[in-house]
Amino acid sequence: MSALGDIGRNLRLLPSTLRGSIVRHGAVGSDRARSQAVFSNFFLHVHATRVHKHSLRPSTTWGLGVVALILFGILCVTGTLLMVYYKPSVADAYDSVKDLAFVVPTGRMMRNVHRWAAHGMVAVVLLHMARVFYTGSYAGPRAFNWVLGMVLLVLTLGLSFTGYLLPWDQLAYWAITIGANIAQSPREITDALGVTGTFDPGGMTRDLLLGASTVGQEALIRFYVLHVVVLPVALSVICAVHIWRIRKDGGINRPVDIDLELGPDVRGGRAIFPEGSGKTYGLMALVEGRTAAVDRGPEHTVPSWPHLFQAQMLLLVLTTLAMLALGYFFDAPLKEIANPAIPENPAKAPWYFLGLQELVSYSAFAGGIFIPTIVVIGLMLIPYLDRETDGAGRWFAGRRGKRVALSSALFSALFVSGLLWFTVEAGWLRNWVPDIPQLVITVFNPGTVLVVAFAAWSLGTVHRTGSTRMGAIALFTCFLIAFAIMTYFATYLRGPNWGFYWSASDWPELH
The residues of the shown chain that bind another protein, judged by CB under 8 A, are 174, 177-178, 180-182, 185, 188, 191, 204, 207-208, 211-214, 216-218, 222, 340-347, 357, 360-364, 367-368, 427, 430-431, 434, 438, 441-442, 496-499
Half-sphere exposure in the Cβ direction for 29 (13 Å, CA): 3
- Quick check: 191 and 200 in contact, CB under 8 A? no
Q: Give start and end residues of each alpha helix (H) in 135-186.
A: 143-164, 170-184
SS3 call for 494: strand
Q: What is the DSSP string of 300-368?
A: TEEEIIIIIHHHHHHHHHHHHHHHHHHHHHSPPP--SBP-TT---SS----HHHHHHHHHHTT-HHIII
Q: Closest approach of Cβ 293 to another protein, in Å?
A: 40
With respect to another protein, which residue has the nearer C-beta, 166 or 441?
441
Quote the least distance from Cβ 339 to another protein, whole Å. 9
Q: Let me know: does 23 contact 41? Beta carbons within 8 Å.
A: yes
Q: How far is the CB of 115 from another protein (least distance, A)?
A: 23
Whole-angstrom distance, CA of residue 272 vs CA of residue 275: 9
Which of residues 163 and 202 has its CB atom nearest to another protein in the complex? Answer: 202
Count of residues in the chain = 511
Nearest approach, Cβ of 197 to another protein (angstroms)? 14
Residue nearer to another protein on the CB measure, 143 or 238: 238
In sequence order, what are the residues at sequence separation of 6 or more whose Cβ sits closer than 8 angstroms to the Cβ of residue 330? Answer: 112, 116
Q: How far is the CB of 204 from another protein (least distance, A)?
A: 8
CB of 213 to another protein, least distance (A): 5
Encode 435-464: b = buried (16+ Cβ within 10 Å), e = exposed: eeeeeebbebbbbbbbbebbeebbeebbee
Task: Compare residues 284 and 359 and give the one whose CB is closer to another protein.
Answer: 359
Give the number of other Cβ atoms within 10 Å of residue 104's Cβ.
18
In the complex, least distance from residue 433 CB atom to another protein, rounded to whole angstroms? 12
Give the nearer residue to another protein in terms of CB position, either 237 or 459: 237
Phi, psi angle pair for 397, to nearest 5°: 55, 30
Cβ closer to another protein: 351 or 395? 351
